Amino acid sequence: MCAMASHLARALQLTLLDYSSSRGIGFELVRQLLASPDNLVVAACRNPATATALHDLKDSTRGVLHVIHMDVSHFDSVRASAKVLEPILGETGLDYLINNAGIAARDTAFTLDPDELLRIFRTNVVGPAIVSQTCLPFLQKGKRKIILNISSTAGSIATVEEIGARNTSYSISKAALNMLTLKQKAEWPDIITITLCPGWVKTDMGGEEAYVETEESISKILALITSATAADSGKFLRYNGEAIPW
List contacts with ligand NDP (CB under 6 A): 20, 22-26, 45-47, 70-73, 100-103, 123, 150, 152, 197-198, 200-201, 203-206, 210
Residue closer to ligand NDP, measured from CB, 15 or 156: 156
DSSP assignment string, 73-124: T-HHHHHHHHHHHHHHHTTT--SEEEE---------TTT--HHHHHHHHIII
Closest approach of Cβ 8 to ligand NDP, in Å?
22
Q: Which contiguous run of DSSP H or E holds residue 215? A: helix 214-226
Shorter beta-carbon distance to ligand NDP: residue 164 or 229? 164
Nearer to ligand NDP, 35 or 201 (CB): 201
Q: 212 phi and psi, to 5 degrees? A: -110, 130
CA angle (180, 135, 187) in 5-degree steps: 40
Is 69 or 141 the residue whose CB approaches ligand NDP more closely?
69
CB of 11 to ligand NDP, least distance (A): 26
Minimum distance from CB of 37 to ligand NDP (Å)?
25
CB 12 → ligand NDP: shortest distance, Å?
Answer: 23
Q: Residue 50 Cβ, how far from ligand NDP at the closest point, in Å?
A: 9
User: What are the backbone dihedrals phi and psi of residue 20, each rounded to the nearest 5 degrees, phi first?
Assistant: -120, 165
**What spatial distance separates the first Cα and last Cα of the chain, rounded to whole Å?**
30
The smaller minimum CB distance to ligand NDP, of residues 38 and 71, is found at 71
Return d(Cα 199, Cα 54) in angstroms, integer. Answer: 23
